[in-house]
């Protein structure tokens, strides 16, 4: 494999000058630049970007972590990559379907293969995930109260309470709920809203509640269970997906 030393020997130009051409930093006369570029082409010289990144200890790459694909992922990722590009970053997407695979992706922070990580959906506990924050920034849209993880979230309690109240005022007293896993802080906030509403409105029935760890097949499964429920002929199902845009999970 051709090296800078080989280019220097062929062109008679110093390694430091060749290095400036390769990196794009620093002044080099047009005459020498052309000689060096011609030699690079002739000798099939390919800059070792990995080595350069290791020296700089950054790759300008963000890891985008999710467990699976669902419609919101595409919309979210579209905006995420555009904003990242404006700041000079590229985005690698990782679909981690097991805890071990998720940890393998997080370990890319330790080798500087990734500069930062954004977590859309997770598998491991926040205790485990936060242990990697010392190697690079970790961000999420989950509701996480940890000093080493940046969390940008909406308080779901008042919004969810308002949604239930809106349905109730429109005559729907039997309301069903399709929610994410109970381990999610946002889901627990919604449950508090439901329970508080039931306390203040004892004529409201909101016992139909389903919890899912995944998005795949959730809608079909919830619909079948709702239709099979004895209250299905009168319950107004309030699926989480209906307001997913304003209530990030």
Nearest to 105 by CA among 121, 81, 85: 121
Q: What is the pLDDT of residue 14?
A: 93
Nearest to 128 by CA among 120, 138, 114: 138
CA-atom Rg of the chain in angstroms:
27
**Per-10-residue mean pLDDT for the chain, 249 residues long?**
87 90 81 88 70 64 91 89 92 93 89 88 92 91 88 88 95 90 86 95 91 82 81 50 38
Q: Does residue 186 contact residue 143 with C-beta atoms inside 8 Å?
A: yes
Helix (H) or strand (E) holding 92: strand 90-95
Beta strands in 96-215, from DSSP E residues, in sequence order: 116-119, 138-140, 150-151, 175-180, 209-212
Q: What is the pLDDT of residue 165?
A: 95
Q: How many CB atoms lie within 10 A of CB 151?
A: 16
Sign of the four-CA dihedral 139, 142, 145, 146: negative
Helix (H) or strand (E) holding 94: strand 90-95
pTM (predicted TM-score): 0.56
Whole-angstrom distance, CA of residue 212 vs CA of residue 222: 9
Token readout for 229 is: 């429920």
Cα distance from N-terminal residue to C-terminal residue, the chain = 49
């Amino acid at each position: 494999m051709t090296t800078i030393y080989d280019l220097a020997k062929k062109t008679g130009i110093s390694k430091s000058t060749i290095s400036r051409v390769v990196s794009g930093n620093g002044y080099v006369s047009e005459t020498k630049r052309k000689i060096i570029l011609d030699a690079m082409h002739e000798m099939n010289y390919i800059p070792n970007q990995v080595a350069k990144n290791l020296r700089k200890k950054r790759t300008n790459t963000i890891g985008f972590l999710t467990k699976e694909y669902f419609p919101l992922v595409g919309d979210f990722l579209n905006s995420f990559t555009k904003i990242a590009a404006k700041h000079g970053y590229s985005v690698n997407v990782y679909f981690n379907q097991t805890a071990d695979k998720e940890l393998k992706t997080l370990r890319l922070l330790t080798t500087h293969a990734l500069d930062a990580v954004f977590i859309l959906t997770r598998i491991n506990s926040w205790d485990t995930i936060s242990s990697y924050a010392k190697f690079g920034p970790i961000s999420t849209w989950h509701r996480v109260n940890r000093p080493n993880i940046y969390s940008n979230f909406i308080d779901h309690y008042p919004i969810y309470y308002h949604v239930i109240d809106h349905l109730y005022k429109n005559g729907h007293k039997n309301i069903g709920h399709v929610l994410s896993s109970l381990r999610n802080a946002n889901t627990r906030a919604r449950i508090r809203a439901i329970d508080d509403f039931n306390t203040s409105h004892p004529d409201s029935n909101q016992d139909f509640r389903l919890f899912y760890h995944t998005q795949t097949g959730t809608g079909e499964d919830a619909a079948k269970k709702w239709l099979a429920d004895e209250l299905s002929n009168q319950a107004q199902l309030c699926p989480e997906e209906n307001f997913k845009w304003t209530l990030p999970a």
